[in-house]
Structure formats: C-alpha cells, structure tokens
Structure 1
Amino acid sequence: MYKFISLFGIFVQVGICYLLSSNRKKIDWRLVGVGLGLQFLFALLILKTTLGREFFVYMNDVVVQLLGFTQEGASLVFGNLTQINIPVGTPQEGPPPGFADLDTSSGFWAQPGAIFAFSVMPTVIFFSSLMTLLYHLGIMQRIVYLFAIVMKKALGTSGAESLSAAANIFVGQTEAPLVIKPYVEKMTESELMAIMSGGMATIAGGVMAAYVGILAAKFPDIAGHLMAASVMSAPASLVFAKLLVPEIGTPETSEKMEMHFEKVDKNVIDAAARGASEGLKLALNIVAMLIAFLALVAMGNAIWGWVCSVVASLTGWNLSAIDTFQEVMGYVFSPFALMMGIPVQDLLVSGQLLGEKTILNEFVAYTHFGDIINGRPFAGELAQLTERSRVILAYALCGFANLGSIGILLGGIGGIAPSRRGDLARLGIRALIAATFASFVTANIAGMLI
C-alpha cells in the first residue's frame, strides 16, 4: 500500500506545481514526463538490478574508505580524540554528567570520536581538498559534462542550465553556476529559475561526506543513498523549475553546451591547499551555523512553550502536543511525509525533520536524524523510525532547499550577474518550492522501490 501512496504522491506534487505555474499553457509535458522517467530509471538501475546494487555498494564503500583516510589526517591534529575511547568512570561510580555515549560492556567510556568537531569537520576539509584537486586535474569537468549531455539530450533543456544542474551534483549552489559564468547575465527567466532550483535540490560532495560521518554508524549504506539522491534530484530540479516557470524565450545556449572553467591553481599541491582552506571555512561556517540555529530553536521552544502554558492556563486547553517548534512543524509537514509513503506511526517525527530542513537547514535536520537513529533524544524525547522511513527521509532531506539558501543564491549568482539580482529575488520562493518538491519526489521514487 505504501508503494502505491509513494506513486500517488508524485502526481499530487506535480499537480500542486501545475496550479502554481506562472504560465500553465507553456508547460513542456514531454520534459516533465521524460525527467521523471529519467529519475525512475536511475533509481531502478541502482536499487533493483544486480549490477546497480553492486555499484551502489562499491561507491558506498569508496566513500567510507575516504572517511577512513580523513582519520589519518585528523589524528595528527586531534590525537586519540578521533578514534580511541577514553575511560571516564567506573561501574561503581557511574559516568560523569554529560557523557551519554558509553560502552557499558567494559565499564564507562567516552567516545570522543563521535563529537562533531573531531569527526565531521575534518571530513569536510578533506573532501573539499579532494574535489578541488579533481577539478584541477580536469577529471570532474569530464564527469559533469557527461551528466549534462544526458540531461540536455533527454530533456531538451539548454546547454547552460544542463551544465549547471550537472555541476550541482558535485559542488555547492554558488560554485556550480561558475561553469556557465559567461551566460548567466543573458539567461532567460526560466533558465535562472533552473539554476537556482538545481542549487537547492542537491548537495555538495564535502557536505555529503559530513552527513555520512553523522549517520554511517547506524545507517551503513547511507553514502550510496545520498549519492543516488543527489544524482536523481538533478533532473528533478529541472522538471519542477520548468513546471513553475516554463520556458517562453529562446535560450542563448539552446543549441550548444560550453563549460567555463578558470584554472587558478599553479599545480596539484596548490589546488589541494586551496581546497583545504576553503573546506576549513565551510567547516567553521557549519559549526557556527549549528551553534546559532540550535540555540535559537531552544530559545524559540522555551518562548513558545511559555506562550502555550499561559494560553492553556487561561483556556483550559491541552496544548502539550504543539508546545515546541518541532511539534508544530511535524503537523505542518506530515502531509508531505504521508505523500512520500512514510508509515503512519512515523509521520509526526518525519514532518518535524522535513520542517527543520525547510525552515532552518538540512544540516540541523540531518543532525537530529542522526540523533534518532543513534538512539539519542530528539525534541526532548526518544523517537524511533522504521527502516522504510529512514531510507525515504535520507532522500527527502538531501538538498539545500531552505529559506537561507535564497539569500546565499542572491549573493552568489547575483555576484556573477548583478543586473539580474531583481529577477533572482523575485524567483527565490518559487525556486525553493521547486527544489523542495524535487527532493520530495526523489524520496517518493525511492519509496516505490524499497
């Protein structure tokens, strides 16, 4: 039954975007059908064929192995804190306050390798350095071009938007448009919508590695799922961008596809060093963002909880089911979780995570997702998710589609094409909707096949 719901949910989400479209008569239904078919075909190959499953497992193992390499570098800086358990108490004395992750089979031990700063930050730095090195060697450009050719031929999209969508599979939402930098200023409105949606519907390689570090202990094949999600969401972002803002002009690159790449590094050492520096900035930004957002959520929950208690005391209403931000988001986003085919018992928790991802950002959502699957409290209580819900959420949360990303894109793409900032600002919410549905439909397709 849940697989049928996942299928039905795709039509519902396409229908919603049809109603919100800026020009329903100009919608290219061939592009929509082929784009969704391309998503389904890729998911079928990866999740259901023997060769695809072997490739899935192989790529998952590659990412896990790369995480292992990260430990070699991180251990020099942080020492035993990255990998060795440290005794912090005895069974007689009990653990000191604050140590939740303990190995009770041999007394009480802290697991500092599970601390974000010692495990996830080095991963972001290493993957950023690796990706920069691969770009310097010209390897990533060839891979991006291959994906772009497939999407351009299959969907009939312009060369520029196809290249940007393909680049978003591997790099961030502000870096991907750089491969089409000469064309951004003259892009049609529909093309701008496509590159914004593509940026928010996928994740960068370094950030993906960080999510793997958070979830891999209890979700061993998470790397393969996240890679599949990012690839599947690339054509999906074009589908929903063209649903909401159909092409009514003639793109400059409708008949050609040229990649722009500025080689700024002198050699491989320079490239690796620059990538590490950029990775450090990203890692510190992630840490600062998590500290601020989680603190703001806690403060907001305290204020909202106080308001609910005052209202309850005055009216006699029982508001305990909606006295936190997460619980409110759970009810708002649970219909979307239902449309994905998530089991009923998991709807509220899933809705809470989807709400956090959209209102705050995906890193907060994945952090709390990790808390749930690792048996730690979420929103003040222990929650559980079925295996089906875990896989679907891994796909649904995979993307930069949140309110903050609109500002990031305004700054990033607006810096490339200052004259288009007004158009970018006007398209921001539509791009967020398109990217959100792209990730959700990717989750729907995964739900049909598991």
Structure 2
Amino acid sequence: MLRLVSLSGVLVILAILLVCSKNRRAIRWRLVGTGLAIQLVLGLTFLSWQGGRDGVSYLGDRVKEFLGQSAEGTKFIFGPLADFKMVEGAFTANDKVDAQTGLNYAVYRDAYLERNARGNAKRDIGFVFATQVLPTLIFFSSFMAVLYYLGIMQRIVQLMAAVMARLLGTSGSESLSACGNIFVGQTEAPLMVKPYLPRMTQSEIHAVMTGGYCTIAGGVFALYVAYGVPAGHLMVASVMAVPAGLVCTKMMWPETEASETMGKVVTTARSESRSVVEAAASGAADGLKLALNVGAMLIAFLGLVAVINWGFSAVQVGGAPLTLERMLGWLFFPVAAVMGVQSSEIGILAELLGKKIVLTELLAYKDLGPMIQKHEISPRTGMIASFALCGFANLGSIAIQIGGLSVMAPGRQSEIATLAVRAMWTGALATCMTACVAGALGSEAGG
C-alpha cells in the first residue's frame, strides 16, 4: 500500500510541474518519459534487486572505512579529542594509565566524578563534533582535488554527461553541469561550463541552477555519513538526482531557444594545480573553508532556532509548546504525506523537509542521522528521508547561486535572479521525486 502512495507521489509532482510550467506546450514528453525510465532502472537495480542492494551496502561500508582514515591526521592534531573511545575512556577507565594510549586519565576521571556528584556530567561527553566530524570534510576535499588533478573525475563526469545528453536529448553544457553536481557543489559545477554560461539559453541556466539545488557536494557527503546517514542511500540519491533534476527543470522551464551545445560533447577544464601535492594542499585549504563555514552555520542556525522556540515557548498548542519544528511540520505535511511513509511518521518527515528548505539540509540531516542509528523511525522512513533531503534546495542557497553565477556571467545577472527562486523549488521537487521513486521500489527494510 505504501509503495502505491509513493508511486502516486511521483504523479503528484509531475502534476505540480505541469501546472507551474513556464510553457506547457513546449514540454518534451519523450525527455520526461526517458528521464523517469532512467530513474526506474536505477531504482530497480540498486533498491529492488538484492544483488544491487548488497553492492550498494558493500560500497557504502567501504566508503565509511575510507572516510575513517581521516582519523589518523585528526588524532595527530587533536590527540584524544579526535577519538570517541579515547575521550570516553577518560571518564570510564578503571586503570590510572590507559594500556592502549599510555595516557593518564586520572585527572579527567576525577573531574568527571566530581561533576557527576553535582549532577551535571553527561555520559556522551566523548563526542566532539568539531574534532571528530569537521576534519573529515578537509580530508575528503583534499582527496577530491587529487582526483580532479589526475583527470579521473573529469572522465567520469564527461562519460555520464554524454550518456544523459544522448538519452534525454539535453544539451552538452547542461548535461555536464548536472552530472558534475554529483561530485562538486552548486557553485563549483557551473565552473565546468563557465565559457558557455554567457551564451546559454534561459532553460539551460535554469537547468544548471536546478542541478545545484537537487544534489549535494562531495564534501558534505562525508559530513552526512558522519552524522549516521547510510552512505549507500546518499550515493544512489545523488545519481538518481541527475535524471530527476533534468526531467523537472525541462518541465518547469522547457527549452524554446537554440542551444549552442545541443548535440555536442562538452569537455571540462583541467586542474590548475601543477602537481598532485599542490592539488592535495589546495583541496585541504578549500576543505578547511568548508569546515569553518559548516561549523559557523551550525552555531548560528541552532542558536537562532533555539531563540525562535524560546520566543514561542509560552504558546501552547495541543498541550505542548509551539516550536519552529512543529510549524514547519504542519506546513510540509501534505508533501510528506504523498511520499509513502507510515502515518505515524509523516509529521517527522514533514519537519525534516521544512527544516531543510527553510533553514538548511545540514540541520535536517543532523536530526535524521541519530533517528536512523537509534531506530527511532522505521528503516523505510529513514531511506525516503535520506533521498528527500539530498540536495541544496533551501532559501539560503538562492543567494549563493545568484552570487556565484552572476560572477561567471555578469551580463545575465537579472535573468539569473529571475530564475533562481523557481529553480530552487524545482530542485526541491526533484529530490522529492527521487524519494518517491525510492519509496515505490525500495524494500520495506529500507534497502
């Protein structure tokens, strides 16, 4: 029954796109049908077929192991603070000197016991977000920069773009940008087609922006895995978002102009680094900026949410204080209802969707990860939520894209600003579409 609800969700999204389309008569239904078919094939392969699910699960485990290697560098810088077990041992070890690390935890343990006696010590004090999660972004950003320098990423992106352009009939530039978003962020992917941006059609610019909104960057992929979101779900969602995004953007803003790169294979620019060491260093520097940005955003947004909830704390609705999460849940309840989760968890999914779009997906995934790990929601809801949140479609990203693309194509700034809001909602619908496809084809166990 829930699978049918998810399937109906796809139809609802298509209906919304049709109603809101810039030019309904110009919609190319062959492109729409082919894009849906590609999602269907991907879903059947990686979500329905046991072999595909096992493969994704295996690859996801290897990705987690790979990201775990960043701990070596983190431990060197932060010492015991970088290791949950070490820090936890400081408060639970029976011996004065830990046999593994040789560190004397007596002082820390005594301080902990004193705090515990006062009733203000927490058992989970061992987890330190700044030293155990954010460094992963630096490591992964450096690794991606090395892949880019070696030309590996470009070859993968160009191959995928050529396939998408051939199957869907999209232009080479918009296909390349869409596929590039699997690996890089919403401001980096357009750099791959920067020479073409000033002469792109409005539909192509809309497609470039939508692609940025409906995918996540490689760096934050590592962050969400660290939150506890299954890596396999994020990988499949990122790949499925490419055809979903192209379907949604070509329904919302169909092509009516002549494209310069239609039927052409567009190549990506080479890395500016002169050696693999320089590439690794440059990537690490970019990762540091990302880590600082993520940390600052979490500090600011979590504080602002707390202020809002504090302001509404005196307002009682249904016997409970009114909170921002509850208000967002009511607003996005209809969207969550058509995704195919059990009725008792629609409100939870709606709150996550609202938090993602109004605030940022960082906060939404921060809440989702522990829910999955602690089995507070069903595996099916965890899977659908992982897909639905997998994109940068939020209000803050509108300013990011306008600013980034306007620098690359100064003469198109007014058009970019006009397209930005519509593209953001198109990207949000694309992630909801992949979530519905996952709900229709995924196993009830959330695979």
The TM-score, its normalising length taken from structure 1, stands at 0.90
Look up the match of 1:151. Answer: 164
CA drift of 1:92 comes to: 12
Distance in 2 (alpha carbons) for counterparts of 1:371 and 1:52: 26
Task: Give the letter aligned to residue 437 of structure 1.
Answer: L
CA drift of 1:213 comes to: 0.5
Distance in 2 (alpha carbons) for counterparts of 1:332 and 1:431: 20
Change (3 A) 1:91 1:387: farther
CA drift of 1:342 comes to: 1.0
Q: Choose the corresponding residue for 1:213, options 216, 221, 226.
A: 226
SS at match of 1:305: coil
1:321–1:327 CA contact under 8 A, matched in 2: no
SS at match of 1:202: coil
SS at match of 2:170: coil
Look up the match of 2:79. Answer: 79
Distance in 2 (alpha carbons) for counterparts of 1:372 and 1:291: 21
1:244 aligns to 2:236 (yes or no): no
**Equivalent residues in 2 for 1:236-275 (5 A)?**
236-275=244-283
SS at match of 1:340: coil
Distance in 2 (alpha carbons) for counterparts of 1:404 and 1:131: 25
SS at match of 1:253: coil
Residue by residue over 1:46-93, the C-alpha shift from the partner in whole angstroms, topping out at 9 and shown as x without a partner, is 123344234312321221111221111111011112222221545995
Change (3 A) 1:115 1:166: same
2:151–2:270 CA contact under 8 A, matched in 1: no
Distance in 2 (alpha carbons) for counterparts of 1:145 and 1:94: 61
Change (3 A) 1:246 1:61: same
Change (3 A) 1:424 1:322: farther
Distance in 2 (alpha carbons) for counterparts of 1:49 and 1:374: 24
Residue by residue over 1:247-267, the C-alpha shift from the partner in whole angstroms, topping out at 9 and shown as x without a partner, is 001110002122231431110
Distance in 2 (alpha carbons) for counterparts of 1:440 and 1:244: 15
Which aligned segments of 4 or more residues in structure 1 are displaced greater than 4 angstroms?
88-96, 318-322
CA drift of 1:196 comes to: 0.2
1:184–1:417 CA contact under 8 A, matched in 2: yes
2:169–2:263 CA contact under 8 A, matched in 1: no
Look up the match of 1:282. Answer: 290
1:183 aligns to 2:196 (yes or no): yes
1:390 aligns to 2:382 (yes or no): yes
1:197 aligns to 2:210 (yes or no): yes
Task: Give the letter aligned to residue 29 of structure 1.
Answer: W
Look up the match of 1:219. Answer: none
Look up the match of 2:22. Answer: 22
Distance in 1 (alpha carbons) for counterparts of 2:402 and 2:116: 55
**Equivalent residues in 2 for 1:21-60 (5 A)?**
21-60=21-60
Look up the match of 1:99. Answer: 122
Look up the match of 2:233. Answer: 225
Q: Choose the corresponding residue for 1:296, options 301, 304, 321.
A: 304
CA drift of 1:347 comes to: 1.0
CA drift of 1:192 comes to: 0.5
Look up the match of 2:410. Answer: 418
Change (3 A) 1:22 1:321: farther
Distance in 1 (alpha carbons) for counterparts of 2:58 and 2:37: 25
Distance in 2 (alpha carbons) for counterparts of 1:353 and 1:404: 16
1:121 aligns to 2:134 (yes or no): yes
1:187–1:252 CA contact under 8 A, matched in 2: yes
Look up the match of 1:135. Answer: 148
Residue by residue over 1:239-296, the C-alpha shift from the partner in whole angstroms, topping out at 9 and shown as x without a partner, is 1111110100111000212223143111000000000000000000000001101111
Distance in 1 (alpha carbons) for counterparts of 2:321 and 2:419: 32
Distance in 2 (alpha carbons) for counterparts of 1:94 and 1:370: 32
Look up the match of 2:424. Answer: 432
Distance in 2 (alpha carbons) for counterparts of 1:93 and 1:30: 66
Q: Which moved more, 1:44-53 or 1:249-258?
A: 44-53
- Seq. identity, %: 45
2:200–2:259 CA contact under 8 A, matched in 1: yes
Distance in 2 (alpha carbons) for counterparts of 1:141 and 1:55: 24
CA drift of 1:435 comes to: 0.5
Look up the match of 1:315. Answer: none
1:5 aligns to 2:5 (yes or no): yes
CA drift of 1:301 comes to: 1.4
Count residues in correspondence.
419
CA drift of 1:304 comes to: 2.8
Task: Give the letter aligned to residue 269 of structure 1.
Answer: V
CA drift of 1:319 comes to: 5.3
Q: Which moved more, 1:81-90 or 1:204-213?
A: 81-90
User: Tell me, which stretches of 5 or more residues in structure 1 are unaligned?
Assistant: 102-109, 217-221, 310-317, 376-382
The root-mean-square deviation of aligned C-alpha atoms, in Å, is: 1.8
Distance in 1 (alpha carbons) for counterparts of 2:119 and 2:152: 50
Q: Which moved more, 1:262-271 or 1:357-366?
A: 262-271
